Amino acid sequence: MTRVALAFSGGLDTTVCVPLLEEEYGHDDVIGVTVDVGQPAEEFDEAEETAEALGLELHVVDAREEFAQLCLESVRANASYQGYPLGTALARPVIANAILEVAKERDCDAVAHGCTGKGNDQLRFEAIWRDSDLDVYAPVRELGLTREWEQEYAEEKDLPVEGGSGGDWSIDTNIWSRSIEGDELEDPNYVPPKEIYEWTAEPTGETEEIEITFENGYPVAVDGEEMGSVSLIEQLNELAGAYGVGRTDSMEDRMLGLKVRENYEHPAATTLLNAHEALEALVLTQEEREFKQLVDQRWSKKGYEGLVDAPLVDALEGFIAETQKRVTGTVTIRFEGGQARAVGRDSEYAAYSASHASFDTETVGSIEQEDATGVAKYHGFQRRLAKKAAQKAAGTELSADGGSEE
């Protein structure tokens, strides 16, 4: 008997994959795997109800802690892609690994997903799975299925889906972000209605300040209360979301080269990233900050690709870990007008001297204001020489043509 483990959500795509894996791929047994990375409870209810109606063996894996820890690693790397925090991208390798583990435990011959051939998720799943000796199937992509075909097939087979609509939008939720796409949102000029948002309220004139504590670059407490990674993210989603923090409307360049319109909500992620960058600005030197921007950019790109276990990421994280030894302290964040702004920061490792920087002090130790005179004379010295040389060269060229240097 052959068996395949299917990434299963209970939605239209994965539901039609169950009989297709039997009919088109010749598998005797299909099992479903649903991985919890912070989706709403109703999604698990849907998956379980659909699996029961299909007679499908369903495994539910709790990966929230593992995913939350990866999200906090992304904070240390200030990770974002084209202006928004990485949520779906970081979740996919966690989900893929969990499915692979179940597949191995249940002696499966293959793994399968319901991703289309136009998105990023197919690549993120398969980057993990193709490290194994299991076959990899993608029925929606390989059979060229359209949503209309799937709806007709579901009706013909009397599959337990309500026409496959699932609402107007395609929504993916985890504890780090909520993405909304599809339908009229595919038009870049379409203004999203307020009802697409669930995590973020419309900004008002109200404000609130909170204090976030970091240790070695990891956020560990809110207003002095220490908590685990999952609880901390969930609490900040609620706190920041109430002030409209963390909305992004993006024209995103996917890995396949397609440009798509995506809307995101990410209150906790926005808050933590802003706080972390503010603390880094206090404790890191100018050179460290400038070089780390390059490191963070590369980490973010690999995170977007779903390749957080790549050798390059290991090397990048070596540098990140060294810099984060001093990223310990507190940051005061103010929620106001849909923003999460750092309005205060404190650390015993600050690379900052108030007495030296103050306009109100004339002499500090051996440093005096007039010491900068020599620096000012040399600053731009080569530029001045180069400009004179350029003027001279321009004059020479004119003379060679027989014209006046003037």
Q: Which residues are catalytic?
A: 13, 92, 121, 170
Cα–Cα distance list, 297 to 209, 301, 313 (Å):
29, 6, 11
Helices 286-305 and 88-105 pack at an angle, to 10 degrees, of 50
Q: Which residue has the tokens 């014209």?
A: 403
Distance CA 96, CA 74 (A): 19
Long-range contacts of 163-166 (CB under 8 A, 24+ apart): 164/11, 164/12, 166/11, 166/12
DSSP per-residue string spanning 205-217: S-EEEEEEEEETT
Q: What secondary structure letter does DSSP report for 190?
A: P
The set of long-range contacts for 69-73, using a CB threshold of 8 Å and a minimum separation of 24, is 69/229, 70/94, 70/308, 71/175, 71/176, 71/229, 71/233, 71/269, 72/218, 72/219, 72/229, 72/272, 73/317
CB-based contact 109:251 (threshold 8 Å): no
Query: Residue holding tokens 């939720």?
Result: 173
Which structure tokens are listed for 296?
Answer: 């963070």
